[in-house]
Structure 1
Amino acid sequence: MVTPRALATDEIFPASSSSSGARPRTPGRRAELVAYGVPFIANPDLPERFRREAPLNTADFSTLYSGEEKGYTDYPALR
């Protein structure tokens, strides 16, 4: 019997490179796949914040995945 386990992206696609909050960014390397989870929840305008090099909102972890609107629709947007 094979025991299931989580595979790292580079195990599945050895010629690719990826980046997420769980893995440190390597200066000078480009990622083919980039994952954003919580930063996108707290910053629905995340691509624009990156373009402008604007500060990011801090996620309120006490409201994440609570099933309520608070924490999903009330983060301040850029002006």
Structure 2
Amino acid sequence: MISSAGYTPAIATAAIEVDHTAAIAFGRLFISNPDLVSPIQTHTALKAYDRKTFYGGDAHGYTDYPTLDAAPVTEQLQSVALLP
């Protein structure tokens, strides 16, 4: 089972450890942290999302959040074996 809905990385880890779920899906946090894996691994504070920019308008709010470092997101995901 995959669960979602407002999990923080810490709560997600706890839910998996007690077998509440097998995996956690992050939606809103992934929008504001396009490199979500990197700040979770380095225990860096996550950027807040702007709910007013969801589902309409232009690219603001979906494609303009900066990454933690300069590496493209695909390279970061490959580095943690989430992409081939």
SS at match of 2:51: coil
Point out which structure has higher relative CO (alpha carbons under 8 A, 6+ apart): 2
Identify which of 23, 29, 45 aligns with 2:18.
Answer: 29
Contact 2:4 2:26 in 1 (8 A): yes
Change over 3 Å in CA distance of 1:33–1:54 after alignment to 2: same
Instruction: Please give the TM-score of this superposition, normalised by the length of structure 2.
Output: 0.60
Give aligned-pair identity as a percent. Answer: 35
CA root-mean-square deviation: 2.4
Q: Cα distance, 1:50 vs. partner?
A: 0.5
1:38 partnered with 2:28: yes
The structure that has the greater radius of gyration is: 1
Q: What 5-or-longer segments of structure 1 have no aligned partner?
A: 1-15
- Please name the residue that 1:6 is paired with: none
Q: What 5-or-longer segments of structure 2 have no aligned partner?
A: 70-84
